């Protein structure tokens, strides 16, 4: 612990939060807890209170906290080499790129530091592909209403939520929004300038809406017929969350470009966009990142891949996900305020007929970390090691919270 951290740890929680609010830009309405450490499915705050975690740092920490194999892999890399630059090769990045291209079935990987940056790279790839074809600089992208792709200007421009966009206009041009799961609304927007269609196979932030098979296959067909690149944002729904490595595998549909992040590094900041040969249009000088794909974050990703395989994480997601599905269906029947239940694997949502903020706050008070997706939907995105007994424990607390409100 540094001296500054030690000084803070002597303060009361309230005083430390006061310091936080003085120093940090207030772009989050934070809950009044300071999380300190974790173990498996549980987190502990600075006062020792235990929380069952059904949020996983927003679909990030898949392996359970304090995972020994993951920690050891990261520690070993810290002692060896943390950063070089992308002007040189490093072994962890080579291994991680090979694994990602094998798992996605795509060809070329670019590592980023976040999901948002993966989206930026995907947008640039699509524009460059179209530019190479016709030399025009007025290409268009079709994105979906209620999507979420990140907060930087490019990612924000394809995010179908006017609330996030309004104050930051003008955004990047040429973006049109279709209705998710409505193929006709996509067809209507296609022009000879459309270079890409971007969507999440399961919309996360927008309220846990899985695509229909008809929609995903139909969008693939539109892209094939019009030489448009299909971009799947698997940042939240990928890396095993639906019970398959990537959500699009549930539909038998392959994108031209896939974006990945969150559980890829299980907390170390790494994302990627992965292109097939056709979409790999960026060349030397077109794109770059100082940190992207450094040895440390890639060692973390390699550990994640290995642990997924050895500990049969996907099988666990399918089993626990089915159990969660059954239990949430039962709850929907029991509680009249619940109007819908959606999702698959360990990315499920319960929509209420009113805002769920007070339920989430009550759950956190009661030792259960939950998160919403949109105003009226509770999102269940636990670490992917969750077992049916954790679902039971979660439901016991959750039901009490519903009763108290």
Which positions touch ligand PLP (CB under 6 A)? 58, 114-116, 119, 148-150, 200, 204-205, 233, 235-236, 261
- Sequence-ordered alpha helix ranges (H) in 204-341: 213-226, 295-310, 313-334
Q: Which is nearer to ligand PLP, 156 or 401 (CB)?
A: 156
CB of 154 to ligand PLP, least distance (A): 11
CA 175 → CA 178, 226, 227, distances in Å? Answer: 10, 17, 17
CA 309 → CA 79, 227, 303, distances in Å? Answer: 25, 36, 10
Q: Which is nearer to ligand PLP, 111 or 327 (CB)?
A: 111
CA 4 → CA 8, 19, 47, 210, 333, distances in Å? Answer: 6, 12, 19, 45, 51
Q: Which is nearer to ligand PLP, 58 or 361 (CB)?
A: 58
CB of 360 to ligand PLP, least distance (A): 16
Q: Which is nearer to ligand PLP, 110 or 148 (CB)?
A: 148
CB of 136 to ligand PLP, least distance (A): 27
CB of 392 to ligand PLP, least distance (A): 28
CA 161 → CA 34, 200, 285, distances in Å? Answer: 30, 14, 33
CB of 151 to ligand PLP, least distance (A): 7
Determine the Cα angle at 153 with ends 25 and 203, to 5°. 90
Residue least distant from ligand PLP (Cβ): 115
Q: For residue 28, how many C-alpha atoms fall within 13 Å in the half-sphere facing its CB?
A: 6
Closest by Cα among 306, 279, 294 to 107: 279
CB of 119 to ligand PLP, least distance (A): 6
Q: Which is nearer to ligand PLP, 84 or 152 (CB)?
A: 152
Eight-class DSSP state of 224:
H
CB of 260 to ligand PLP, least distance (A): 10
Q: Are the C-beta atoms of residues 130 and 136 closer than 8 Å to each other?
A: yes
Q: Which is nearer to ligand PLP, 106 or 261 (CB)?
A: 261
**Residue 108 and residue 112: Cα distance in Å, rounded?**
13
CB of 305 to ligand PLP, least distance (A): 19
Q: Are the C-beta atoms of residues 262 and 56 closer than 8 Å to each other?
A: no
DSSP reduced 3-state for 65: strand
Closest by Cα among 254, 240, 216, 243 to 107: 254
Q: Which is nearer to ligand PLP, 275 or 371 (CB)?
A: 371
Q: Which is nearer to ligand PLP, 261 or 346 (CB)?
A: 261
């Amino acid at each position: 612990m540094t001296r500054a951290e030690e000084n803070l740890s002597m303060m009361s929680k309230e005083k430390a939060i006061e310091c936080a609010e003085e120093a940090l830009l207030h772009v989050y309405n934070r809950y009044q807890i300071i999380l300190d450490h974790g173990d498996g499915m549980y987190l502990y705050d600075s006062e020792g209170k235990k929380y069952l975690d059904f949020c996983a740092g927003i679909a990030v920490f898949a392996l359970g906290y304090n995972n020994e194999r993951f920690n050891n892999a990261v520690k070993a890399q810290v002692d060896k080499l943390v950063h070089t630059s992308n002007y040189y090769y490093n072994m962890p990045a080579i291994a991680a790129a090979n694994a990602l291209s094998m798992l996605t079935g795509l060809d070329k990987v670019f590592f980023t530091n976040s999901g948002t940056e993966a989206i930026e790279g995907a947008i640039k790839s699509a524009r460059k592909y179209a530019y190479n074809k016709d030399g025009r600089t007025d290409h268009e992208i079709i994105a979906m209403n209620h999507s979420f792709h990140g907060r930087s200007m490019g990612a924000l421009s394809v995010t179908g939520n006017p609330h996030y966009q309004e104050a930051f206009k003008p955004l990047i041009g040429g973006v049109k929004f279709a209705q998710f799961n409505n193929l006709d609304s996509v067809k209507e927007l296609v022009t000879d300038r459309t270079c890409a269609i971007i969507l999440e196979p399961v919309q996360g932030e927008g309220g846990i809406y899985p695509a229909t098979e008809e929609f995903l296959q139909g969008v693939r067909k539109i892209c094939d017929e019009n030489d448009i690149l299909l971009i799947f944002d698997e940042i939240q729904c990928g890396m095993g969350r639906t019970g398959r490595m990537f959500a699009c595998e549930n539909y038998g549909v392959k994108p031209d470009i896939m974006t990945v992040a969150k559980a890829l590094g299980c907390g170390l900041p790494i994302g990627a966009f992965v292109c097939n040969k056709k979409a790999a249009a960026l060349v030397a000088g077109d794109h770059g990142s100082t940190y992207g794909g450094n040895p440390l974050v890639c060692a973390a990703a390699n550990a994640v891949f290995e642990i997924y395989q050895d500990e049969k994480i996907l099988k666990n997601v399918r089993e626990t996900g089915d159990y969660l599905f059954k239990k949430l269906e039962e709850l929907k029947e029991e509680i009249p305020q619940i109007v819908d239940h959606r999702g698959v694997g360990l990315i499920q949502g319960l929509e209420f007929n009113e805002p769920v903020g007070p339920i989430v706050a009550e759950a956190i008070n009661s030792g259960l970390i939950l998160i919403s997706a949109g105003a009226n939907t509770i999102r269940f995105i636990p670490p992917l090691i969750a077992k049916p007994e954790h679902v039971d424990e979660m439901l016991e607390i959750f039901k009490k919270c519903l009763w108290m409100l």
